[in-house]
């Protein structure tokens, strides 16, 4: 397993892994196609596309019925999710368990004396290190040349029947591609960002810290400010990390909707549940994902809020519909037995 992660955590070792797909070692392969959110013109001759309008999340649009003045019931909200008649296995609370007990929020909250940019960088690298394990389980080919995720089984990158994700081609056009190809591009894209010293500087002398207001008055800095500036991160660092988290979420959503049974057969469903609930807590706590981004996995977020996975007061709990989660628990015959 140590070799599996050798190219992931370069920032915190102060050097680049020789096995990581850096620019010098990828000249034989085509340049990665940036995902839609990161596709911004880099020169004055680039074609500029108007930004797409953002749509409200499902949780935000489900409120009071303006015509009747009635608040929808939990059953009505659950129906509006348009789940398949046979609900996914992961929506049964008996299969939504974790390998450990405790409050994952303590792993996501930034320590007082850690600079926010450093903490966000650490979370990006750490969550990618965990997710890439599950990606390779379904993506890597066996000796016979087959893989669990393939173009026949997953002809597009989807999360159920209601959500699919596109990638921008070389002409900046969104196109649907098989999930296997999407996973290939995601690995290349995220690894390339993490291994880029201009985005994730790995010089130990540049690591900064945050002043603890309990012991001193923070020294104001001059000039324009952004998250991670004092540690050497670029001005668009937070935007890049949000894009990385959005891509990681889409991979998790595909794994749950298309490959949960495969991971269950390998006895890995609790491990993925643990990683994903930690991921959601981190993403919401650090504002790395918007509520609209969470829509494909909203039912599971509701369920975990009802089961206490997301503690009250956390942002993950706030974006959940507790009544829907409680209804899902009821439909499964009560809370899971330990």
User: Residues within the annotated binding site?
Assistant: 149, 154, 254, 259
What does the DSSP assignment read for 57-118? PHHHH-S--TTT-PPPPHHHHHHHTT--SS--GGGSGGGS--SS-S-THHHHSPPTTB-HHH
Q: What's the CA gap between 309 and 104, in Å, rounded?
A: 8
**Quick check: 274 and 99 in contact, CB under 8 A?**
yes
Q: What's the CA gap between 18 and 268, in Å, rounded?
A: 30
Q: What's the CA gap between 226 and 208, in Å, rounded?
A: 14
Q: What's the CA gap between 30 and 32, in Å, rounded?
A: 6
Cα-based angle 131, 137, 138 (whole degrees, multiple of 5): 100
Helical segments of the chain, H only:
58-61, 74-80, 105-108, 116-139, 179-194, 237-265, 269-285, 298-307, 315-318, 322-331
**Quick check: 36 and 174 in contact, CB under 8 A?**
yes
The one-character DSSP state at 284 is H
Cα-based angle 135, 294, 1 (whole degrees, multiple of 5): 20
Q: What's the CA gap between 286 and 316, in Å, rounded?
A: 11
- Known binding residues for Zn(2+) are 149, 154, 254, 259
Sequence length of the chain is 338
Give the pair of three-digit tokens for residue 21.
């797909």
């Amino acid at each position: 397993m140590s070799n599996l992660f050798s190219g992931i955590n370069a920032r915190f070792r102060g050097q680049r892994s020789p096995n990581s797909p850096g620019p010098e070692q990828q000249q034989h392969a085509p340049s990665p196609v940036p995902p839609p959110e990161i596709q911004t013109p880099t020169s004055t001759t680039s074609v500029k596309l108007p930004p797409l309008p953002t749509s409200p999340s499902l949780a935000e649009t489900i409120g009071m019925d303006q015509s009747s003045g009635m608040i929808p019931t939990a059953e009505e909200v659950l129906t509006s999710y348009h789940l398949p008649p046979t609900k996914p296995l992961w929506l049964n609370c008996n299969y939504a368990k974790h390998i450990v007990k405790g409050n994952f929020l303590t792993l996501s909250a930034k320590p007082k004396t850690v600079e926010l940019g450093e903490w966000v960088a650490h979370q990006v690298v750490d969550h990618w290190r965990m997710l890439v394990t599950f990606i390779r389980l379904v993506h890597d080919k066996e000796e016979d040349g087959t893989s669990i995720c393939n173009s026949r089984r997953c002809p597009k990158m989807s999360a159920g029947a209601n959500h699919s994700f596109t990638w921008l081609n070389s002409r900046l056009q969104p196109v649907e591609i098989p999930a296997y190809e999407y996973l290939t591009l995601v690995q290349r894209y995220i690894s390339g960002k993490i291994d880029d010293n201009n985005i994730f500087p790995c010089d130990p002398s540049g690591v900064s810290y945050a002043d603890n207001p309990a012991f001193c008055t923070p020294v104001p800095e001059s000039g324009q400010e952004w998250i991670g500036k004092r540690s050497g991160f670029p001005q668009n660092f937070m935007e890049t990390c949000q894009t990385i988290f959005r891509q990681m979420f889409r991979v998790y959503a595909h794994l749950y909707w298309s490959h949960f049974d495969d991971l269950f057969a390998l006895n890995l469903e609790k491990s993925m549940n643990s990683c994903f609930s930690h991921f959601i807590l981190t993403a919401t706590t650090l504002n790395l994902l918007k509520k609209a981004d969470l829509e494909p996995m909203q039912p599971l977020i509701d369920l975990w809020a009802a089961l206490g996975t997301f503690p009250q007061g956390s942002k993950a709990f706030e974006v959940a519909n507790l009544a829907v989660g409680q209804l899902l628990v009821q439909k499964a015959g009560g809370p899971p037995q330990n």
